[in-house]
Amino acid sequence: ALDESGKGFTDIIYEKAVGEGIAKITINRPERRNAFRPQTVKELIRAFNDARDDSYIGVIILTGKGNDAFCSGGDQALRGSDGYADYDGFGRLNVLDLQVQIRRLPKPVIAMVAGYAVGGGHILHMVCDLTIAAENAIFGQTGPKVGSFDAGYGSSIMSRLIGPKKAREMWFLCRFYNASEAEKMGLVNAVVPLEKLEQETVKWCREILRNSPTAIRVLKSSLNAVDDGHAGLQELGGNATLMFYGTDEAKEGKTAYMEHRKPDFSKFSRKP
Segment near ligand 2NE (CB under 6 A); pick from 5-13, 139-147, 202-210, 246-254: 139-147
Q: Which is nearer to ligand 2NE, 48 or 139 (CB)?
A: 139
Minimum distance of ligand 2NE from residue 45's CB (angstroms): 15
The residue from 18, 77, 226, 233 that contacts ligand 2NE (CB under 6 A) is 77
Stretch that binds ligand 2NE, among 28-36, 39-47, 98-106, 257-265 (CB under 6 A): 28-36
Query: Which distant-in-sequence residues (6+ apart) come within 8 Å of 162 by Cβ?
Result: 170, 185, 186, 187
The amino acid present at 133, given as its one-letter code, is: A
Q: How far apart (Å, rounded) are the C-alpha atoms in residues 212 and 193?
A: 30
3-state secondary structure of 261: coil
Q: Which residue in the set 38, 58, 108, 143 belongs to the binding site for ligand 2NE (CB under 6 A)?
A: 143
Q: Which is nearer to ligand 2NE, 68 or 169 (CB)?
A: 68
Question: Which residue type does 17 have?
Answer: A
- Determine which helix (DSSP H) or strand (DSSP E) holds 31, and give its type and residue range: none
**Contact call for residues 58 and 107 (beta carbons, < 8 A):** yes
Q: Rounded to 5 degrees, what are φ and ψ at 117?
A: -120, 90
Binders of ligand 2NE among residues 147 to 206 (CB under 6 A) are 148-150
| Residues making contact with ligand 2NE (CB under 6 A) | 32-33, 35, 68-69, 72-77, 93, 95, 116, 118-120, 142-143, 146, 148-150
